[in-house]
Structure 1
């Protein structure tokens, strides 16, 4: 059996005859992935990668085998006693996980995609199956960092709505469009679709995770709180606990975030769900300046689910703080091999730069630029990440232009405020930067990077007392928050606290 961490960039087609549409009533709860019917041909979709072509046959055979296993039907024994029901196959497991609001394993998600791709090829008028396929493509794109699948998702969801408009009951396609827009960081569009679903079907809990993400991206903390509370009322359990923990994390309420994340980890029912919870515990430990605990939690996540590749990057971040840079580079490279997210490229590039390995750093930055350009073609808005990169490693004026555009689009989260303030400072306008940096610290919880940026900007405008306090706060919160900015924060603080010349 192939390990779950060996995944294709293109989910395989199932070689076996595809099962008929699965009914949402077979699972607990309603979800876009558990309400599908009949998608169509795959004409015009992105071509297969070479890596995919080489692995597709092997993975397809595995998926086909487990699909057959999952389709076994129990028959009566001697006409009296029914045999025990078979274990669920990967498609059923993927749908059951989604119906419960939990992540499916990557291998089960692969099987689901292969199953639905084949089904829609021969049943092009099944709106429900188009909706589930499109939503599954969104999930695959997120978890493989292959933005080409966003285009596939958009095509499938539009096909679903062509067959059956949302106004005629095709809510699952609208939920999928909410998830797609949020994944592309188009938070205004995600809000529009999500609120449309909520207005028509207030009990449709599946829309809330993407809607909460959209509100957070827009900096609408009041709506985040309301949506989290409503989601919890509709679907209490591990997913609601994770959303609550995330909300408290953004506010800087560490104890509350930790309590909810720990409870979620204790209640998690599948390896994929458990790994998500442990990874959040690792992130919380990192943010409060406890790298040893962060390494332990991310390692536990990887032992639970080897395919939880974000934990490789999370562990690498903590290993840098512990001075274990060889291990950190190993984990970053492994994370990027499976999950080539541009933020990991930036982090690895900055690690190389901090070690004086300028050639390797330049290589990561070039790869980052290429990836951002590719994702832009697929409709992904990476202005925040690109703005952060340009401010420190490229053209600060370009960073200001990009982030001003985000602000004008109402993308006013603490992260955008912090990045815009820092970009304005780096472009030579600390007075204009101050308002945004202060807003980030006021609304972004206890974030060491935000406090560092505000402290440096205050120092530039000669507001020395507050500058000293914010630099101290940054280093007290997480003294190793960045391999480049951490030492710079200490240097800035030392400069403020040094005795004047002459004693």
Structure 2
């Protein structure tokens, strides 16, 4: 029940509530594997909000309880990459992928290689993503979302749009809206791209999950549409949420902000340039000082 509640809070963007649910559940868990699963989920939340030291601490605690905890293995690899410990991250991805090559992790490892300039190994990982998605499809597992993301950034953007449009028709959701919007942008269709990016990030339109990658995608699309003000806001939000959310796209977000430069200084409208009303001097005796907090028991 706690995991389900945490998932609901997570999907609604209530990260602190999700973290509280998982922390309480981990403390109540009686089996090591159950406790490890909760700790790994908390580690993912810590990573999403850019707290890499805490994320690593929780993932490693989970692995001490259950050395095969797959989410913790993946989280540890992801966090090491965010910390710039690239060689350790590559080894950790290898451990996480051993025996069960997950397409999402294969894509992450490929982008880690690409960010380091190792195009050959990156391309090999991307081919493994395609092969693994085909294998899973034969077993009835839907991998169109990750395949669409792969094609948008590292393959055929037009094909990505087709795949993700079909995925949107089958099961519309925030992750698909983000991926489809980004694929449209990569295919040069920025006006339509923005409608999906807005769906993924705007709570009024059903989105609002605070995820750095989604904010970056929206900011990059707005920048392509020559909307520097809102683009700057979303690029800053991406890096404020998680300054190392991707080995490829976090540096791209930082570069885009640097190119934008400082926001222009604009004079406030006359109707908001109001003088504060004078504060009358206090009368009567001063209020009593607040009592100090009680010492811990």
Q: TM-score, normalised by structure 2?
A: 0.85
- Which runs of 5 or more structure 2 residues have no equivalent in the other structure? 265-297
Of residues 72, 95, 101, the one that matches 1:311 is 72
Contact 2:110 2:126 in 1 (8 A): yes
Of residues 139, 154, 158, the one that matches 1:378 is 139
Aligned position for 1:423 = 183
Mapped to 2, the partners of 1:491 and 1:498 lie a distance apart of: 13
Deviation, 1:498, is 5.6
Answering whether residue 230 of structure 2 is matched by residue 470 of structure 1, we say no
Answering whether residue 211 of structure 2 is matched by residue 451 of structure 1, we say no
* Alignment deviations for residues 10-60 of structure 1 (CA, whole Å, 9 cap, x no partner): xxxxxxxxxxxxxxxxxxxxxxxxxxxxxxxxxxxxxxxxxxxxxxxxxxx
Contact 1:301 1:308 in 2 (8 A): yes
Answering whether residue 156 of structure 2 is matched by residue 392 of structure 1, we say no
Mapped to 2, the partners of 1:336 and 1:429 lie a distance apart of: 35
Aligned position for 2:199 = 439
Aligned position for 1:329 = 90
CA distance 1:272–1:444, change in 2 (3 Å): farther
Deviation, 1:340, is 1.1
Deviation, 1:309, is 2.4
Displaced runs of 4 or more, over 3 A:
none
Mapped to 1, the partners of 2:236 and 2:47 lie a distance apart of: 18
Aligned position for 1:357 = 118
Contact 1:449 1:481 in 2 (8 A): yes
Mapped to 1, the partners of 2:172 and 2:33 lie a distance apart of: 32
Q: TM-score, normalised by structure 1?
A: 0.51
Mapped to 2, the partners of 1:494 and 1:339 lie a distance apart of: 40
Contact 1:309 1:339 in 2 (8 A): no
Contact 2:59 2:76 in 1 (8 A): yes
Larger radius of gyration: 1
Contact 2:37 2:71 in 1 (8 A): no
Mapped to 2, the partners of 1:324 and 1:456 lie a distance apart of: 27
Mapped to 2, the partners of 1:277 and 1:359 lie a distance apart of: 37
RMSD of the TM alignment (CA)?
A: 1.3
Task: Write out aligned runs for 1:45-444 (5 A).
Answer: 240-409=1-170, 411-442=171-202, 443-444=207-208
CA distance 1:384–1:444, change in 2 (3 Å): farther
Mapped to 1, the partners of 2:262 and 2:17 lie a distance apart of: 38
Deviation, 1:329, is 0.6
- Secondary structure, counterpart of 1:494 in structure 2: helix
Question: What is the count of residue pairs matched by the alignment?
Answer: 260
- Which runs of 5 or more structure 1 residues have no equivalent in the other structure? 1-239
* Alignment deviations for residues 207-226 of structure 1 (CA, whole Å, 9 cap, x no partner): xxxxxxxxxxxxxxxxxxxx
CA distance 1:276–1:499, change in 2 (3 Å): closer
